[in-house]
Amino acid sequence: MNEVSVIKEGWLHKRGEYIKTWRPRYFLLKSDGSFIGYKERPEAPDQTLPPLNNFSVAECQLMKTERPRPNTFVIRCLQWTTVIERTFHVDSPDEREEWMRAIQMVANSLKQRAPGEDPMDYKCGSPSDSST
């Protein structure tokens, strides 16, 4: 089993899903695809502060935009049966590229690691359905 490591971490401005204000959040992108946001920077990587945001970047779509703010990027993912979008912005185009490249790299590595085990590939029904 591969050990989970932090691929990238740092401050992002995250747009609220319901109240559309921008809030600073400290995010950790991990090699298992988890993308975890905190109100404050954790003192240690294994610290168990309750995260404010926690979702997976596996099977996500990344979109670059200059709206509603410059240097914005959007992560679109499937969470259970719902498509969710999370909007972030950073201070520079280079910083945005770094985050997008890191997220895409993790998503790609997860695709390669588990071919045929993609949760998006599961169809309704069970294996016994095909034998009838």
At 1-60, the pLDDT tens digits run: 568 899 999 999 999 988 899 999 999 999 999 999 999 888 765 666 777 787 788 888
Domain at 6-113, CATH from 3.30.1330.40, 3.30.365.10, 2.30.29.30, 2.60.40.2480:
2.30.29.30
Distance separating alpha carbons of residues 33 and 7, to the nearest angstrom: 10
N- to C-terminal Cα separation, the chain: 37
CA dihedral (99, 116, 119, 39) positive or negative: negative
Number of H helices, E strands in the chain: 1, 7
pLDDT tier for residue 130 given thresholds of 50, 70 and 90: very low
> Is this structure's pTM higher than 0.85?
no
Domain boundaries, the chain: 6-113
Q: For residue 106, which of 60, 39, 70, 42 has the smallest C-alpha distance?
A: 60
